[in-house]
Amino acid sequence: MRKALHIQPDLEAVLSPPAAESKSSSIIPARALEYPELRYMGSKTRLLPWIFETLDKLDFESALDPFSGTGCVSYLMKAMGRRVVASDFLNFTSTVARATVENNRTHLDERALQGLLRGASAKRKFIEQTFSGVFYTPEDLRFLDRVSGNIRKLTDPHQQAIAYAALIRSCLKRQPRGVFTISGDLSRYDDGRRDLRLSVEEHFLEQVEVYNTTVFDNGRRNLALRSDLFELPRRKVDLVYLDPPYVPRSDDNCYVKRYHFLEGLSCYWEGMPVDASTKVKKIAKKFTPFSYRRTAVEAFDQMFSKFKSSKIVLSYSSNGFPDLEQLETLMRKYKDHVQVFEKPHRYHFGTHRSVARSSVIEYLLVGQ
């Protein structure tokens, strides 16, 4: 059996992979590093320079990022001048990508912003009624109801996406642990951070500006979709960047459990009924085969098969299941040449103890 090539970062310079050619610019575009960071499980924001080094050596004009999450890798590829399709099965993450990746021109101008802040009180009070005593202050909840009603009146989808992206980042910043699994008195997490002193409305005003700054035209028609990976219509792209969730050794990797509030907020919980019996007013989980040992191997196989006509770049980490060897074997079923790039990495997520546990080796498997 053919062995895949493993490349340590310091060896990358002397080995030239087969498709290492055109468009190499060697320096990561500055705007990719300025992408607004979201505290999001599995975000690759801090790995962008390393991911860039690998992508930059590959020949591609169009790219699909079907697990786009925060959108930072899609945005990197947009900044590299490629035509990008970003997709995720969550509504709030695809909305962020609509604001930053798909949107080439539209800003949320002062007039539109004033329209969002208008009105003394909201007509619909779902957020205040549902989340009082669970998350945020009563003023924050009232603001969320009011601004949500006004956002839905915006007719431009990209202005609407910017407003939602700003709201989502505001809510994440204002949530002491950046996840929505715990509720009530969270003052023990208050370490004096500015993010916890600002109201959601004050954050929102800042974040609209932040997302307006991300808008640029790379001369390509980029797209943001909301779709399960396996339901994505076939489209011809030169490269797919795959960053699925990992089956963790312990705990779970459920995105809805951690971010249900943002997912609901992104559509005012329409079609997403809350389970009133839960303490944090969760919505239903979404099934993904990448979360379970019994389904993950088959899911990787099907995924590689689906994208066999494109170059594949897979992000993976040493604490995931299946392990690297199995993934290489699966990828080699569809690709003649597989290279593995490695980088030690420490995830800053969760409590102090779990941070210690999250020292991993990050892999990029490149199949062509």
Contact region with ligand SAM (CB under 6 A), list: 165-173, 211-219, 242-250, 265-273: 242-250
From 4, 64, 73, 312, residue interacting with ligand SAM (rule: CB under 6 A): 73
Instruction: Report the amino acid identity of residue 308.
Output: K
- Cα end-to-end span (Å), the chain: 17
Residue 258 found at the interface with ligand SAM (CB under 6 A): no
Find the binding residues for ligand SAM in span 289-328 (CB under 6 A).
290
b/e sequence 196-207, b meaning 16+ C-beta within 10 Å: eebebbebbeeb
Handedness of CA 222, 224, 230, 234 (dihedral sign): negative
From 29, 39, 44, 131, residue interacting with ligand SAM (rule: CB under 6 A): 44
- The least CB distance from residue 63 to ligand SAM, in Å, is 12
- The least CB distance from residue 255 to ligand SAM, in Å, is 4
Residue 72 found at the interface with ligand SAM (CB under 6 A): yes
From 4, 35, 40, 247, residue interacting with ligand SAM (rule: CB under 6 A): 40
Contact region with ligand SAM (CB under 6 A), list: 65-73, 125-133, 148-156, 326-334: 65-73
**How far is 56 from 16, CA to CA, in rounded Å?**
12
Other residues' Cβ atoms within 10 Å of the Cβ of residue 194: 8
- Phi-psi category of residue 37: left, alpha or beta, with phi > 0 → left and psi -120 to 50 → alpha: beta
From 19, 23, 42, 56, residue interacting with ligand SAM (rule: CB under 6 A): 42
**How far is 70 from 96, CA to CA, in rounded Å?**
7
Contact region with ligand SAM (CB under 6 A), list: 63-71, 203-211, 215-223, 355-363: 63-71
Give the phi and the psi of residue 143 in degrees, each rounded to 5.
-60, -45
- List residues binding ligand SAM (CB under 6 A): 40, 42-44, 66-67, 69-70, 72-73, 88-90, 93, 228-229, 243-245, 255, 288, 290
